[in-house]
Amino acid sequence: MRSTRFIATRKSAPRAALVCDMRDAMTTPTQDPPSDAAGRVLARVRAAADPRATVEAFGSSIYAPAHAEDVDVLVSEDDPARLAAALGLVPIPTLPPRMTGLLEGVRVDVTVVTGDDDLARRMRSGPRDAALLAAQLHTHGRDDVFQAAWPHVRRFVRARALGHNGLGWFGSFGWALLLAVPLVHDRELCAVPVGAAVPAWLRWLARLAPGARIGLDGIRQGDPEPLFIAAPAPPLRDVARLSKRAATALFAEARAAALAIGAATSDAEASDRITDLAQEPPAGTTLVIAGDDDHTRGRYDGVARGLLRDLEALGAIRSWGRFDRADDGSWQHRITVPAHRAQPARELITRWLALTRIDAALE
Do 137 and 269 lie in one domain? The reply is yes
- Residue 118 lies inside a defined structural domain of this protein: yes
Ordered DSSP codes for 166-232: GGTS--HHHHHHHHHHHHHH-HHHHHPPTT-HHHHHHHHHHT--TTEEEETTEEES--SSSEEEB-S
**Which pLDDT value is given to residue 217?**
95
Do 176 and 88 lie in one domain? The reply is no
What percent of the chain has pLDDT above 70? 90
| Burial (0-12, 13-18, 19+ Cβ within 10 Å), 44 | middle
Q: Which tops the pLDDT comparison, 130 or 122?
A: 130
Do 146 and 268 lie in one domain? The reply is yes
Average pLDDT over residues 248-252: 96
Do 259 and 328 lie in one domain? The reply is no
Q: Is the pLDDT assigned to residue 80 strictly greater than 80?
A: yes
The number of distinct structural domains making up the chain is: 3
- Residue 141 lies inside a defined structural domain of this protein: yes
Average pLDDT over residues 50-57: 97
Do 146 and 242 lie in one domain? The reply is yes
pTM: 0.89
Confidence of residue 1 (pLDDT cuts 50, 70, 90): very low
Domain-terminating residue out of 124, 141, 165: 124
Do 317 and 249 lie in one domain? The reply is no
**Which pLDDT value is given to residue 48?**
98
Confidence of residue 4 (pLDDT cuts 50, 70, 90): very low
Confidence of residue 33 (pLDDT cuts 50, 70, 90): low
CATH of the domain at 60: 3.30.460.10
Q: Is the pLDDT assigned to residue 88 strictly greater than 60?
A: yes
Domain-terminating residue out of 93, 124, 155: 124
250, 262 in Cβ contact below 8 A? no
Confidence of residue 45 (pLDDT cuts 50, 70, 90): very high
**Which pLDDT value is given to residue 92?**
87
- Residue 1 lies inside a defined structural domain of this protein: no
Domain encompassing residue 323: 281-362
